[in-house]
Structure 1
Amino acid sequence: MRVHKLTVAALAVAAGLSLTACQNGDGGTGSSSPSPVSTASSASTSGGGSGSDSSNPGSSDQGGGKESAGKNSGGTSSGGKGTTAGTGSDKSGAVGKCRTDELEITAKDNTIDGDPDGTVAVRLKNRGGRDCAIFGYAGVDLKTSAGSLSAKRTGEQANHVVLKDGESTAFGVNYPINKSGGSGVRITGLLVTPPNETKTVTLTWPGAATLPVTDGTGSPVKVGPVGNAGQGG
């Protein structure tokens, strides 16, 4: 009986030790593992935040890109003011020159009865959709049965002219009237090159049909500056 009691006691002590060990093991695992997991989670969150800002500079660049685009918009807007570019002005406020392709060029007889010479008025109308500036003398050549005849400048002071879209200016071409009774030199056309341009337009000659025959020294045809239509206004 004593042996049996000792054995039961020994089993009870062993069971108690085993239970204590299990409780200690569960508690140890429970108390120690949540802490590292929480720490890792926290580090992961904070590392992710820092990764967005620094390890992904592309994000920052895109933000900068937006800001830059905003500045570009501002530039466009100021460029819009420079629609003064639309009005033909550059950044300095200067108005661009009138181009041949922007001008509607026509010619008409402008001779006044009793004048010793004939006059043709050449009109230049701005059709470019912007303001443009024109200054000086146009190049003028008459096509004749004897070849091309270049007009000489009168030497008058030229004025700067700014044409708004739809506005016109003019200059005069003076030529001697053929009173000789002979056939003279037949005029077949008028060539006009606006000031500071290289493109020429060909017009029908609206004046007298012929020029008197000359000795060939100098040109009998004269051209005035833009802004002066010559005789007859």
Structure 2
Amino acid sequence: MRAYKLTFAALAVTAGLSLTACQSDVDGKGPSSPSPASTGSSASPSGGVPGSGGSANRSGGKGAGGKGTTAGTGSGTTGKVARCRTDELEITAKDGTIDGDPDGTVTVRLKNRGGRDCAISGYAGVDLKTDSGSLSAKRTGEHANPAVLKNGASTAFGINYPLNKSGGSGVRVTGLLVTPPNETKTVALAWPGAATLPVTDGTGTPVKVGPVGNAGQGG
């Protein structure tokens, strides 16, 4: 019985070797060596950082520690858009006060007339011209969302001010000065709100301005 088992095992080994030799002869390549991929420990299929799907390579990066492209410049972005210039904007102002509001509101609208899309965000500079001098509006502190203003499209912001209910003459408003965000050129407009502001004590300003994109009440 022992001799029979050894003979059977020998025949099995011989048959296996013969089958391997036959396969090598058929494909003409001989016994193959392990593929290079089987020797790596953590390389991703596309050669990028493991788990990233090779996105660094597709976006022009040079791997970890290399000088890749700046974030936000890959596919799916629209690229940089130049900011809106004062001369490209048609700026108008109207009374936006709603009956029953405790304060008055003026809505300033900015329309893109530049023939191209432009970027705009932040707060405009606002000054009221009065018979007692210039009065600068204070920012409300609301978050300003950046936006691309399409050619021919409009955005707006609100100016909030106290109504003169004192019965006195108050401070007479004679004009409105608006400087778009990140610009230095100012546009002079007629003041469409209430004719006067109440006289206030102290050095603070009672006039508030919201960020572009938030027209306030009545806007």
What is the one-letter code of the residue matched to 1:173?
I
Equivalent residue number for residue 98 of structure 1: 84
Q: 2:188 & 2:213 partners in 1: Cα distance?
A: 21
The DSSP-based 3-state class of the residue aligned with 2:87 is helix
Residue 232 of structure 1 pairs with residue 187 of structure 2: no
Deviation string, structure 1 residues 187-229 (Cα, Å, up to 9, x no partner): 0000000000000000000000000000133100000000000
What is the one-letter code of the residue matched to 1:185?
V
Q: Note the 1:6-85 alignment, pairs <5 A.
A: none
1:122 to 79, 90, 108: 108
Equivalent residue number for residue 178 of structure 2: 192
Equivalent residue number for residue 167 of structure 2: 181
What are the ranges of 5 or more consecutive residues in structure 2 without an aligned counterpart?
Answer: 1-77
TM-score calculated relative to the size of structure 2? 0.64
Residue 150 of structure 1 pairs with residue 136 of structure 2: yes
1:165 to 116, 140, 151: 151
Shift in Å at residue 146 of structure 1?
0.4
Counting matched residue pairs gives 142
Shift in Å at residue 231 of structure 1?
1.2
Shift in Å at residue 161 of structure 1?
1.6
Shift in Å at residue 145 of structure 1?
0.5
The DSSP-based 3-state class of the residue aligned with 1:101 is helix
Deviation string, structure 1 residues 79-110 (Cα, Å, up to 9, x no partner): xxxxxxxxxxxxx8211000000000000000
Residue 141 of structure 1 pairs with residue 119 of structure 2: no
Shift in Å at residue 111 of structure 1?
0.3
Deviation string, structure 1 residues 27-57 (Cα, Å, up to 9, x no partner): xxxxxxxxxxxxxxxxxxxxxxxxxxxxxxx
Q: 2:203 & 2:217 partners in 1: Cα distance?
A: 24
Q: 2:98 & 2:148 partners in 1: Cα distance?
A: 28
Equivalent residue number for residue 206 of structure 2: 220
Equivalent residue number for residue 17 of structure 1: none
Q: What percent of counterpart residues are identical?
A: 86
1:204 to 174, 190, 193: 190
Give the structure with the larger helix fraction. Answer: 1
Q: 1:103 & 1:113 partners in 2: Cα distance?
A: 30
- Which structure has the larger Rg over C-alpha atoms? 1
Q: 2:80 & 2:131 partners in 1: Cα distance?
A: 43
Q: 2:202 & 2:179 partners in 1: Cα distance?
A: 24
Structure 1 residue runs of 4+, over 4 Å off?
Answer: none
CA RMSD of aligned residues (A): 0.9
Q: 1:231 & 1:161 partners in 2: Cα distance?
A: 21
What are the ranges of 5 or more consecutive residues in structure 1 without an aligned counterpart?
Answer: 1-91
The DSSP-based 3-state class of the residue aligned with 2:215 is coil
Shift in Å at residue 134 of structure 1?
0.3
